[in-house]
Structure 1
């Protein structure tokens, strides 16, 4: 069975090194909390708000061992008025027997406001 593992973070500025580092930290925690093996990942979608243009956040995933062949796609999030700025969202689709209610979704920084029902505050 496949399950979606969700993660999101915000960055303090539109700078390549900041985007990659924050994305890497988020992915590492998603993987750790859910016991994810990259060979069990079907694909990963990464969306960003329109104010993130300095680099592709997917570059962070490529820095991790074992992720070379995992399909990844970056895209722009819809521009909803008054929505969270400088936000990176991840949807990782994983083959797992873990029940949906046992998946640990990870939210960092201001992104904890996206799903307060699922989050513990990390960062900012």
Structure 2
């Protein structure tokens, strides 16, 4: 079954290296939490807030081993006043063999505030 797996993280500043590292860290965590391999991923959509302009985070994924054939696309998040800043979000569509309720979404750093109900740190 193809399922959507959500993830988000933040960076302290708009810096190419910081954006790439945070994007790779988030993708690796999504992989490990959901037992994913690149071959099982249909595609990844990445959004960033309008204050991140130093680089395309999709380039970070394309540099990862075995990701050269995974379709990846970037877009800009809607700039809603008061929303979390310097945020990178991933929507990973992948073949997983668990019920929807067992998909492990990943929220790191300040992005944990987006979905505290799904944050891995809130699981007991």
Please classify the TM superposition score into its range, dividing by the shorter chain length: over 0.9
SS at match of 1:60: helix
Runs of 5+ consecutive residues of structure 2 not aligned to the other structure = none
Runs of 5+ consecutive residues of structure 1 not aligned to the other structure = none
Query: TM-score if structure 1 supplies the norm length?
Result: 0.94
TM-aligned CA deviation for residue 73 of structure 1? 0.3
Structure 1 position 60 matched with structure 2 position 60: yes
1:101 match: 101
Matched ranges for 1:21-32 at <5 A: 21-32=21-32
Runs of 4+ in 1 over 4 A off after TM superposition: none
Aligned length: 121
Query: TM-score if structure 2 supplies the norm length?
Result: 0.94
Structure 1 position 76 matched with structure 2 position 73: no
1:9 match: 9
SS at match of 1:42: strand
Structure 1 vs Structure 2 CA RMSD = 0.8
Query: What per-residue deviation string (whole Å, max 9, x for no partner) do you get for residues 7-43 of structure 1?
Result: 1000000000000001111110100110001111110
Higher helix share: 2
TM-aligned CA deviation for residue 120 of structure 1? 3.3
